[in-house]
């Protein structure tokens, strides 16, 4: 009889992607994987007290002017 994979004990936490944009720790994902293999919110961008910026207010890519 075939057995499926065990279910994860909990799902990954929901990250605020507006806060995660540009984060060098989580690379924009909003979560990190611990040494134990658990997903946790990124301590650099998700645990801070700063309010989330609107995704529409983010600066666009820089272009070289000619």
Contact yes or no for 41/13 (Cβ under 8 A): yes
Is 58 part of any domain?
A: no
Is 65 part of any domain?
A: no
Number of domains making up the chain: 1
Alpha helices in 10-59 (DSSP H): 17-20
User: Looking at residue 50, what is its pLDDT?
Assistant: 54
Residue in this structure with the two tokens 């994979």, named with its chain if needed: 5
The pTM of the full predicted model, rounded to 2 decimals, is: 0.55
Which residue range forms the structural domain that includes residue 28?
Answer: 13-49
User: Looking at residue 54, what is its pLDDT?
Assistant: 41
Is 66 part of any domain?
A: no
pLDDT along the chain (66 residues), means of 10: 65 87 95 92 83 46 58
Is 42 part of any domain?
A: yes
């Amino acid at each position: 009889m075939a057995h499926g994979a065990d279910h994860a004990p909990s799902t990954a936490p929901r990250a605020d992607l507006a806060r995660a944009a540009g984060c060098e720790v989580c690379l924009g994902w909003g979560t990190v994987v611990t040494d134990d293999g658990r997903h946790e919110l990124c301590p650099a961008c998700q645990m801070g007290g700063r309010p989330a910026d609107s995704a529409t207010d983010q600066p666009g890519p820089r272009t070289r002017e000619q």
